[in-house]
Amino acid sequence: MATTVTDPWTSPGGAGQLLALLRDGVPRTRSELAVMTGMSRSTVAQRVDALLSSRLIGPAGDAVSTGGRPPTQFAFNPSSGLVLAADLGATYARLGVTDLAGRVLDEVREDLDIAAGPDHVLGWVVDRGRGLVDRVSTGGQRLAGVGIGLPGPVEHATGRPIQPPIMPGWDGYDVTARLQGDLGPIAVVDNDVNVMALGEHFTTWPDEDHLVFVKVSTGIGSGIIADGQLRRGAQGAAGDLGHIQVPHADDVLCRCGNTGCLEAVAGGAALVTRLAAKGLDVRTSRDIAALARGGNVEVVQVLREAGRYIGEVLANVVSMLNPSVIVVGGSLASAGEHLLAGVREVVYRRSLPLATQHLRIVPGSAGEHAGIVGSAVMVIERVLSPGEVDRAIG
């Protein structure tokens, strides 16, 4: 009869469990860790030594002595590794390097057309990424992983885009294999709205377990945080808000081939077309936001109407998911309160009072860092998971 042997490094009492406790930023002694985990002091000492050798933790001063030599405290060392994080949009690319706490250390932004194809775009990510990592790495930190957000549907389990409407040449492309082959460590891929939801949740709303992030830019999409976790759905298509049908728009053709989609009446591309037909000099969502901030009455009215359309769809989302926070981001959300005013007007009127009793509808606060931070968080949560830490240092 075969005997099952439990690997002490991947057991519930492994080094990864200690690191998970110390990631809250509170320094602790070996004795405190033993009490919290139920491990013996000798086991804790062994795990702490392993984490010290890997540089994942470091000494953090002495605790108050109760007699004799004061015990040493230990704390998580986020500078022990680096993460390369990319946020790719339809016409731009942001690339940043963070530490293992998601703090952005350096970044670059360039105009880059996603339609140029995966070889060109990912080649830029690899080349510029290597330069950024070399510039930031002062103590020989290793690159722990690469996270990337793409502006289209992504099968998260494989990292492959699936029939992305604005990404010719990307369908089925193995983004993960390309990045791992060129850069070495693990690569994690998701759509851009999901990573922005992670970024907003991580930086501003870590204590909120139920959050919906809505990106209103050239297109419209959402990321769903439920029970404190990002929910992607069965194939990674959850949150595709832009292609829900809205009332009174049956004659408006969407780029997906259907009619009446929210994106076709309230997305940035639709508003650019509408305002340009009125004689305004607008080419992008950013142009619309700039005119709104400048007080252009016609633009403000169009944004308010777009907000009402978005609110009609979000009212249903509120009834289904009952979030405590709706965060609205993207280039059109930077126009000020005009878009949000339309959203709030409809959501609070159409949703049940119980669902909106404590609901907050707010603008994004992470700004242009949301995508970079969210891409980094995907990597950090994977490489610092207890099991992964145990395997890495075991």
Q: Is there a single domain that holds both residue 321 and residue 380?
A: no
Choose one of 58, 76, 94: the last residue of a domain: 76
The confidence band for 251, taking pLDDT boundaries of 50, 70 and 90, is confident
- HSE toward the beta carbon, residue 101, CA cutoff 13 A: 15
Residue 7: its pLDDT value, please?
A: 41
pLDDT in tens, 69-87: 778 999 999 999 999 999 9
Residue 73: its pLDDT value, please?
A: 94
If you average pLDDT over residues 41-68, what whole number do you get? 85
Q: Is there a single domain that holds both residue 375 and residue 358?
A: no
Residue 200 in domain: no
pLDDT in tens, 296-305: 999 999 999 9
CA angle 95, 87, 369 (to 5 degrees): 80
Residue 69 in domain: yes
The confidence band for 67, taking pLDDT boundaries of 50, 70 and 90, is low
Q: Rounded mean pLDDT of the chain? A: 91
The confidence band for 255, taking pLDDT boundaries of 50, 70 and 90, is confident
Q: Which residue has the tokens 């009072």?
A: 353
Residue 198 in domain: no
If you average pLDDT over residues 186-205, what whole number do you get? 95
Sign of the dihedral through C-alpha 163, 219, 195, 233: negative
Q: How far apart are CA 245 and CA 113, in angstroms?
A: 28
Residue 145's CB is within 10 A of a number of other CB atoms, namely 26
122: pLDDT strictly greater than 50? yes
Residue 336: its pLDDT value, please?
A: 83
Sheet holding 142-150, edge to edge: 104-111, 92-99, 81-88, 142-150, 186-191
Q: What is the total count of domains within the chain?
A: 3
Residue 302: its pLDDT value, please?
A: 95
Sign of the dihedral through C-alpha 286, 334, 218, 306: negative
Q: Is there a single domain that holds both residue 151 and residue 220?
A: no
Residue 41: its pLDDT value, please?
A: 92
If you average pLDDT over residues 121-146, what whole number do you get? 92
Residue 8: its pLDDT value, please?
A: 40
pLDDT in tens, 321-346: 999 999 999 989 988 899 999 999 99
The range of the structural domain enclosing residue 141 comes to: 79-192+371-393
Element (H, E) at 174: none
Q: Is there a single domain that holds both residue 155 and residue 256?
A: no
Residue 12: its pLDDT value, please?
A: 56
Residue 38 in domain: yes
381: pLDDT strictly greater than 90? yes
DSSP state of 252: P
pLDDT in tens, 173-193: 999 999 999 998 899 999 999
pLDDT above 90 coverage of the chain, percent:
77
Residue 266 in domain: yes
Residue 199 in domain: no
User: For residue 37, what is the domain's CATH number?
Assistant: 1.10.10.10
Choose between 255 and 364: higher pLDDT.
364
Q: How far apart are CA 305 and CA 354, in angstroms?
A: 26
Residue 51 in domain: yes
What burial letters (b/e) apply to 169-200, b meaning 16+ CB within 10 Å?
A: ebeebebbebbbebbebbbbbbbbbbbbbbbb
If you average pLDDT over residues 48-64, what whole number do you get? 87
pLDDT above 70 coverage of the chain, percent:
95
Q: Is there a single domain that holds both residue 238 and residue 355?
A: yes
Q: Is there a single domain that holds both residue 83 and residue 69?
A: no
Read off the tokens for 265: 């009446």
394: pLDDT strictly greater than 50? yes
Residue 6 in domain: no
pLDDT in tens, 2-43: 333 334 434 456 899 999 999 998 999 999 999 999 999 999
Q: Is there a single domain that holds both residue 229 and residue 355?
A: yes
235: pLDDT strictly greater than 90? no
Residues listed for the chain: 394
User: For residue 360, what is the domain's CATH number?
Assistant: 3.30.420.40
Q: Is there a single domain that holds both residue 164 and residue 237?
A: no
Choose one of 51, 76, 101: the last residue of a domain: 76
Q: Which residue has the tokens 């929910």?
A: 231
Q: Is there a single domain that holds both residue 247 and residue 321?
A: yes
pTM of the model as a whole? 0.89
Strand residues in the chain grouped as ranges (E): 28-29, 57-62, 72-76, 81-88, 92-99, 104-111, 142-150, 154-155, 160-161, 186-191, 211-216, 220-226, 229-231, 325-329, 360-363
Q: Is there a single domain that holds both residue 53 and residue 182?
A: no
